[in-house]
Amino acid sequence: MATVHLPSGLTAFTGGVDTIDIVAARVPDLIEELRHRFPQLGDHLNGMAVAIDGEIYQDPGYQPLQSNSDVHFVPRIAGG
Amino acid sequence: MPKLHVEATINDEPAEFLCDPHETLLSALRNGLGLTGTKEGCSTGDCGACSVIVDGRLVPACLVLAPEAQGRTITTIEGLSSGDALHPLQQKFLEHAALQCGVCTPGFIVAAAALLDAKPNPTEEETRFWLAGNLCRCTGYDKIIRAVLDTAAHNRESAV
Amino acid sequence: MSTPREFKYVGTRPIRHDGVDKVTGRASYGADAAWPGMLHGAVLRSPHAHARIVSIDTSAAEATPGVKAVVTASDFPETTAALAMGEAAIDLRDISDSMIARTKVLYHGHTVAAVAATTFDIAKEAAEKIKVVYEPLEPVTGIDRAIAPDAPILHPALTTKGAPAGSITGPTNVASRLELKRGDVDAGFAEADVVVEREFRTAMVHQGYIEPHACIARCGEDGRVIVWCTTQGPFVVRDASAAIIGLDPAHVKVIPSEIGGGFGGKIVVYLEPLAIVLSRKAQRPVKMVMSRDEVFRATGPTSGSKIRVKLGAKRDGTLVAARASLWYEAGAYRGSPVGAGAMCALAAYKIPNFLIEAYDVVVNKPKVAAYRAPGSPMAAFAVESAVDEIARELKVDPIELRVKNANAEGDQAPYGPKYGPIGLKQLLETVRRHSHWTAPLGPNQGRGFAVGFWFNAGMNSSATVTLDADGSAAVVTGNPDIGGTRAAQAIMVAEELAIPVERVRPGVGDTDGSGFTDVTGGSRVCYATGMAVIRAAEDARDQLKARAAKMWNVAADAVTWQDGRVIPPPGTEKAEPLTVAEIAAKMTHTGGPIVGRASLYAPMAGPAFGAHVCDLEVDPETGQSRIVRYTAFQDVGKAVHPSFVEGQMQGGVAQGVGWALNEEYIYNSDGVMENAGFLDYRMPVASDLPMIETVMIEVANPLHPYGVRGVGEVPIVPPLAAVANAMRDATGIRFTELPLSPPRVLAAIESAARVPVGA
């Protein structure tokens, strides 16, 4: 059961919900489930980085999730 | 307009090159003679990356016209090491890690060589003001100044 | 945690392998190469900051003797593609349009056409013969103008991404809105005993690398392209150029030269696609080198900003609420680092209630590019100035205030996830104990303190470690070396293989010779690429163990590695421990060459904090100030080559000091930069700075085998506020606008002096 946290700017598309529990083995499954539950999220998650238990993945790819992973969607940032 | 033929002594060797009348010494060194150790950072005489010594005087090569080199003695970074021995400044820059990207380094070493010729025992302040015409964006100058002061000290010890 | 590892080479200071080439001038930078048959390229740039392009007539240029090719936007395909290029998804259309204008010019200096000719002078003169008809438009010269209701609009189709539902999203110059929220700010401020609210401004500044952009491109008859260029990311040059031009990246090879500084400004392409297309048209190599003027006007400086900060604290020093609104200039196309600024602004502090809004604003200035911790320095200037004010109001020591509110491992970062081990509290204690903190000050002197935060980028890295029969090794990665990373990589290989550092040859590969690697930047090379290097060395070591096992005729998993030797299982006959050199000498007989390799995608983890103390002296008669003493403290995780870590800290301090005291893009009302040269764009010189003392603490980053944290970017974050806080201490005046140039400081001092005492 991963706990997903959405930034407050996206809660407009989830009816105000910013914390969601989802069972998913990998990030793509998690995103698909999120879109399924909140169709208005649409493409808004595209281009966001995903933090899994404190480690931020600019491109989350097929990153696996643990049974109690803490997941945050964060803006992608660039270094210099 | 036909090119001008210039003869000069560069790094203790007779040299000659062709140049346009309005061409800079910097361009003649880099493009005419393949001496690319002298770098171009601004071409307005503000960054010191093109520092060379002409007739004993430290100048930015971007502000010297190539034809002005006629008959003169010029030292570039390529002329500082002798044989397989690095110039003491070069050695100290390496030991002090006084370079990061290294593009300003030839200019600094030439300018510092001119400093130590003029003033073998400079203070930190004198060193900083002498080198104020050389920009470095990587190091914050700390290790560069240490390397120059250490070279001066080393030179004094060797002379004894 | 078991006993910390004892290192033999990590933490030492060997002379860098490429050092002799650098001090003799032999090292080859972008402009130092010349290829046979080479042409020279020159660019025609827009004289207007904002205008429609009505027509372009290149015929006079094309007819000029010596001119071999002319290109305009019509030579580049239209694209709406986005390219996932490492750190941020880059809209290719914007990059392509910024590189050469199609229908509008959006900044003074915007490329309109390029010419290749037998000499640079011919190319330049021919470019000036190109007839461009413009319809000038009113320029948007800054944030205030851009967000005004009657602002000229740069991009009619632009809408505000992330705008609150139901709000008007266009036509606008605000490209996006980001919100970070926690708790209830209004309730938080209601319980505050002290509230500080200020508006801060910083100007557009440039990375200031001494080496201008330069490249040579050659397009062959078979359509294959080779590019030699100065870049932080050869794979970015390859993929972005290929995508912009419509080439197959498999046909493009990029060879990175030595790089004369980047700081984030050489992650984008400016010249390379132009040079490639010119070369394709002329069927000869084309060399292009920017002038310093062009570097200022037409590359990627960083954003000017407007930041409003409101902070609330209880009398005991607990921060209870924070509100911040950030507007950052994106330049002519969207994509400022305002998101990162929002994420970093409160990173140091445990604040239960906050609301941060961040706006990305387009203006008629060059498209901004990354500059060392992009977005964080301006945010730190604002927040750390406000924290300093709170400390003064509460009469609390500035360090004490921060200790009280400092985040630690397990606390939630403002952008969501919990922090792993971080060194902020240890850093603060280190500052407190340092002699600088309590040293006496002289007349007209003030002391300022500030902390700063930046991430540690991960992403793609590849490395190979190849052994030679004499037991030496070569390590190759795809990361150009800006600050001594080759030396650090050699140290890592030496450590893992127990061979001397001088016996390791570190190199930078081209895009064919090295596995895909993301840019040199984001403080990622010693961290992420370092991990790949260590793993590649471990892979080589595993192969060495297997070879030894073969020689001893024992099972591969029965041998062990200890103190630089492979040890046979006890009791093996005729078997003595073997060194790397001894095993490598027999490579051919035991299975062939030994090549260790590794590639990985690393997460961003192990961010770092810095804390700076700045002593500044002001001349009240001229407004000029000088830095009297500066100490930079930083959590570096593990310093692989301490001299180069110190160098990163000192360099970041110098850039931050310049940003705080003198650097700014000065624009006139037509949107033209007036100080596009090193004389008037005033960066610090040797006489402006004292020795910069560095203090490193090492709180290990658990993700890296040695504990390395990225160090390159953090040091530019605290100086803006440290200097401004020192100025407050020295003058009694809170400056909220940078730079603190002498005219600004003098005017404020004189104005303050006119206020009657007791008012």
Sign of torsion over alpha carbons C548, C553, C556, C557: negative
Q: Which residues of B touch C691 (CB under 8 A)?
A: 124, 142, 145-146
At C759, the pLDDT band (50, 70, 90 cuts) reads very low
Q: Is C1 on the interface with A (CB under 8 A)?
A: no
Q: For B56-96, how does the pLDDT look when each residue is reduced to its tens digit (9 = 90+)?
A: 999 999 999 999 999 999 999 999 999 899 999 999 999 99
Q: Nearest C-alpha of chain C: how many angstroms from B32?
A: 11
Nearest CA in chain C to B49: C210
CATH code linked to domain B4-79: 3.10.20.30
Rounded to an integer, what distance in angstroms lies between the CA atom of residue B11 and that of residue B8?
Answer: 10
Q: Is A53 on the interface with C (CB under 8 A)?
A: yes
Q: Nearest C-alpha of chain C: how many angstroms from B48?
A: 10
- Note whether C686 contacts B97, CB cutoff 8 Å: no
Interface test with C, best of B101, B115, B148, B150 (most C CBs within 10 A): B101
Q: Nearest C-alpha of chain B: how many angstroms from C133?
A: 31
pLDDT for C431: 98
pLDDT for C420: 94
Q: For C274-313, how does the pLDDT look when each residue is reduced to its tens digit (9 = 90+)?
A: 999 999 999 999 999 999 999 999 999 999 999 999 999 9
SS3 C617: strand
pLDDT for A57: 92
Q: For B20-33, how does the pLDDT look when each residue is reduced to its tens digit (9 = 90+)?
A: 999 999 999 999 99
Q: Mean of the per-residue pLDDT values for chain C?
A: 95
Residue C98 Rama label (left phi>0; alpha psi -120 to 50; beta): alpha
pLDDT for C88: 46
Of C373, C415, C703, the CB nearest to A80: C373
Of B44, B109, B143, the CB nearest to C647: B143
> Does the pLDDT value for residue C387 go beyond 60?
yes
- A60 upstream amide cis, omega within 30 of 0: no
| Average confidence (pLDDT) over C495-499 | 96
At C80, the pLDDT band (50, 70, 90 cuts) reads low
- Note whether C23 contacts B49, CB cutoff 8 Å: no
Q: Which two structure tokens, joined as six digits, stand for C675?
A: 């100080």
Q: Which residues of C touch A56 (CB under 8 A)?
A: 417, 455, 458, 603-605
Q: Among A13-17, A23-27, B94-98, C28-32, which is the least confidently predicted range?
A: A13-17
Task: DSSP for C264-282, please give it.
Answer: TTTSS-SSHHHHHHHHHHH
Longest distance between any two alpha carbons in chain C, whole Å: 96
At C3, the pLDDT band (50, 70, 90 cuts) reads low
Inter-residue contact C371 to C205 (CB < 8 Å): yes
Q: Which of C181, C519, C562 is nearest to C370 (CA)?
A: C519
Inter-residue contact C437 to C490 (CB < 8 Å): no
Rounded to an integer, what distance in angstroms lies between the CA atom of residue C6 and that of residue C17?
Answer: 24
Residue C549 CB contacts under 8 Å (≥ 6 apart), including other chains: C555, C556, C558, C559
At C87, the pLDDT band (50, 70, 90 cuts) reads very low
Residue type, C552: W
Q: Among B50-54, C122-126, C415-419, which is the least confidently predicted range?
A: C415-419
> What are the residues facing C202 on neighbouring strands?
C305
CATH code linked to domain A2-75: 3.10.20.30
Inter-residue contact C218 to C50 (CB < 8 Å): no
At A79, the pLDDT band (50, 70, 90 cuts) reads confident
Rounded to an integer, what distance in angstroms lies between the CA atom of residue B94 and that of residue C671?
Answer: 44
Counting CB pairs under 8 A, whether chains B and C reach 3 or more, is yes
pLDDT for C82: 58
Spell out the long-range contacts of C420-423 with Cβ–Cβ below 8 A and sequence spacing 24 or more.
Answer: C420/A54, C420/C605, C420/C606, C420/C701, C420/C702, C421/C699, C421/C700, C421/C701, C421/C702, C422/C607, C422/C608, C422/C609, C422/C635, C422/C699, C423/C608, C423/C609, C423/C635, C423/C697, C423/C698, C423/C699
Percent of chain B surpassing pLDDT 70: 99
At C327, the pLDDT band (50, 70, 90 cuts) reads very high
SS3 C234: helix
Q: Is C167 on the interface with A (CB under 8 A)?
A: no
Q: Which residues of C touch B44 (CB under 8 A)?
A: 292, 677-679
Percent of chain C surpassing pLDDT 90: 91
Q: For B110-129, how does the pLDDT look when each residue is reduced to its tens digit (9 = 90+)?
A: 999 999 999 999 999 999 99
Q: What is the pTM of this model?
A: 0.96
> Does the pLDDT value for residue C473 go beyond 90?
yes
Domain ranges of chain B: 4-79, 88-159
pLDDT for A44: 84
Domain ranges of chain A: 2-75
pLDDT for C193: 98
pLDDT for B100: 97
| Average confidence (pLDDT) over C429-458 | 97
- C171 upstream amide cis, omega within 30 of 0: yes
Delineate the domains of chain C, giving CATH numbers in brackets: 19-25+458-602 (3.30.365.10), 33-137+211-260+266-298 (3.90.1170.50), 305-456+604-754 (3.30.365.10)
Q: Is C417 on the interface with A (CB under 8 A)?
A: yes
Residue type, C666: I
Inter-residue contact C528 to C521 (CB < 8 Å): no
At C756, the pLDDT band (50, 70, 90 cuts) reads low
Q: Is C84 on the interface with A (CB under 8 A)?
A: yes
pLDDT for C1: 40
> Does the pLDDT value for residue C227 go beyond 90?
yes
Inter-residue contact C177 to C190 (CB < 8 Å): no
pLDDT for A77: 85
Percent of chain B surpassing pLDDT 90: 96
pLDDT for C2: 46
Q: Can you identify the CATH homologous superfamily of domain B88-159?
A: [2Fe-2S]-binding domain (1.10.150.120)
Burial class (CB in 10 A: 0-12, 13-18, 19+), C706: buried
Residue C162 Rama label (left phi>0; alpha psi -120 to 50; beta): left
Inter-residue contact C52 to B118 (CB < 8 Å): no
Task: State which of C2-6, C88-92, C319-323, C702-706 shows the largest mean pLDDT.
Answer: C319-323
Cα dist. A80→A48, B18, C484, C519, C563 in Å?
Answer: 19, 42, 16, 9, 38
Q: Which residues of B touch C289 (CB under 8 A)?
A: 40
Strands (E), C146-212: 174-182, 194-202
Q: Nearest C-alpha of chain C: how many angstroms from B31?
A: 9
Residue C13 CB contacts under 8 Å (≥ 6 apart), including other chains: B97, C641, C642, C643
